[in-house]
Amino acid sequence: MKVLLIAPNVDGTDVGEAYVAFKWAEALAAKVDLTVLSFERQGRRALADQLPDARVITWPEPAFARRHERLNAMLKPAWPVFALKVTGWLKAALAKGERFDITHQLMPQAARYASPLRRFDIPYIIGPLGGALDTPEGFKAEAGSAPLFTRLRALDAFRFRWDPGLRASYANAACILGVAPHVEKVLGAIRLQRFEPMLELGIDDAPEMHRTALQHGKLRLLHVGRGVRTKGLRDAVRALAHLKDLPGVTLTSAGAGEEIALCKAEAERLGVADRVTFLGQQPRASIEDLYRSHDVFLFPSFREPAGGVLYEAMRNALPIVTAARGGPDYIVDDSCGFRIPVTTPDQFAKDIAASVRLCAAAPQRLAQLGQNARAKVASEGLWPTKAARLVALYQDILAGQPAQPYPIG
C-alpha cells in the first residue's frame, strides 16, 4: 500500500506535535510504502536520517515561523506555505505518473486548517484532530482570561459552518480521526463521511510493574500538568480539605505556571499546605520516578481534549482519578480508575475526595485498578499497535465505495 503522509513538522528530536508525528511516521513506515512531506528546521538532524524506512521530502521551515515558538505552536502561521508546497509537489508527482493509494494529513492537530489534499482525486484522511472544549459554566469565574490567540478558538464554530475550504476539507475526507468521541460533536456543523476516535499519542513500551503494598493510612496522590486552572490542580487541593480525617493522604504537584501560586494560597487557606508538595517543572526522568513512587494519578482536568499524560501514568500501573469529560472520559474506564462528573467547583472537589477515599479504603482494589490501567494502555497504546489499527482503517476505506463529494471551496 502506497501512503502519502503530510505534516508541517515531523521530528523525533523535537517535542509536541512534531515528535508525535514522527512516532506515527516511524511506526507506519514499518507497515506500508510511506512517503512523508514536511518542513525541516535548520540545525536539526535530517528527517531522512530519522526515517530510513520512508521516502522523505522536506522544505526549509520559513524563518518567520520560528521567531515565536508559542505562537507558532498555537497558530501554525506557515501552514499556507506548507499547503502550497504540498499541492505543487503532489501535482508534479501525479503528472509524472506516480500514484498513491491513500493520503493522510496527520497534523496540525487543531481543527482549523483547510487541507491541500481536498484538491486531489485520492482518498484522504485527516487527523487525529483535537476539538476544543468549553469551560463548564460553574468554573468560568475562576478560569481567568485567556491569551488573544487562544480566544480566537471561539471563531472555530463559525468557520465550521461558513468557511468553504475548511468545510470541504472535512466533508470530502474519507475519514476524520478525532482524539476522542467529543470531536465529532465539535464538527457537528459539517456532514462527515466517516468519523473514528483515535488518540494521537502512544507509548513505546509498557513493562510489568510490581508496586509495593499500600501503607496503612497513607495514599500518595500525584498531579502532573501545566499550572493552568483547567488542569484541575486547584480542585485536587480542595479535595484534600474534605479528607482531613485521613492525614496520610498527600498530594504532589509537578508542573509550572500561574496557577501554582494560587494553589499554594488555596492550600494555606484550607489548612492542607503541609500535605501538598509543589515541585514545579520537572525533567522527564524525574516525572517517571514520580509515577513509580506514587499510588494514584489524580488529574481532574475538566477541559482536556486528549489527555496523553494519562497514558504515561497508566503505563506505570497507576490507577486514575480524572474528569468524566473530553479525552479523559474516553481514555479511562471503570476497570482502571474513577471518572468524576464536572458540575460545580464545590461539588467537583467533594466527588474527587469521595473517589480518593475509596482508593484509600481498598488497597487490593487499588492495586487491581493499577494493573488494569497498565494492561489497557499496553493493549491499545503501543505504537506498532496504533499503526496496525490505522493501516486496517486505510484498507477498510479503500475497500469501500466513495461517498458523494461535498462541493470544493
pLDDT of residue 214: 75
CA R_g for the chain: 22
How far does Cα 61 stand from its chain's mean position? 24
Q: Do domains 2-202+382-399 and 219-379 have the same CATH topology?
A: yes
pLDDT of residue 241: 97
CB 10 within 8 Å of CB 81: no
Task: Name the grid cell of 174.
Answer: 474519507
- What pTM does this model have? 0.89
> Which residues, in sequence order, are CB contacts of 198 under 8 Å at separation 6+?
127, 128, 177, 178, 179, 386, 389, 390
> Could you tell me the fold of the domain covering 2-202+382-399?
Rossmann fold (3.40.50)
Nearest alpha-carbon partner for 301 in 369, 374, 235: 235
pLDDT of residue 43: 87
- State phi, psi for 96 to the nearest 5 degrees: -85, 0
pLDDT of residue 124: 98
Nearest alpha-carbon partner for 194 in 408, 401, 385: 401
Q: Three-state SS for 323? A: strand
User: What stretches of 216-257 show up as alpha helix (H) in DSSP?
Assistant: 233-241
The residue written with cell numbers 502506497 in the block is 2
Written in H, E and C, the secondary structure of 251-299 is EEEECCCHHHHHHHHHHHHHCCHHHEEEEECCCHHHHHHHHHHCCEEEE
> Which residues, in sequence order, are CB contacts of 336 under 8 Å at separation 6+?
314, 319, 320, 369, 370, 372, 373, 376
Grouped pLDDT means (10 residues each) for the chain, 409 residues:
97 92 98 98 93 98 71 73 98 97 96 95 96 86 64 72 93 96 93 95 87 80 95 98 96 96 97 97 93 96 91 95 96 97 97 96 93 94 96 94 43
Task: Name the grid cell of 157.
Answer: 464554530
Q: At what angle do helices 284-293 and 308-315 cross, to 10 degrees?
A: 60
What are the Cα distances from residue 363, in Å, to 350, 368, 370, 372?
21, 9, 11, 14
- Spatial distance between the Cα atoms of 267 and 241, rounded to a whole number of angstroms: 8
Nearest alpha-carbon partner for 32 in 392, 407, 405: 392
CA angle 302, 303, 306 (to 5 degrees): 110
219-379: CATH superfamily? Glycogen Phosphorylase B; (3.40.50.2000)
User: Domain residues of the chain, as ranges?
Assistant: 2-202+382-399, 219-379
Q: Three-state SS for 92? A: helix
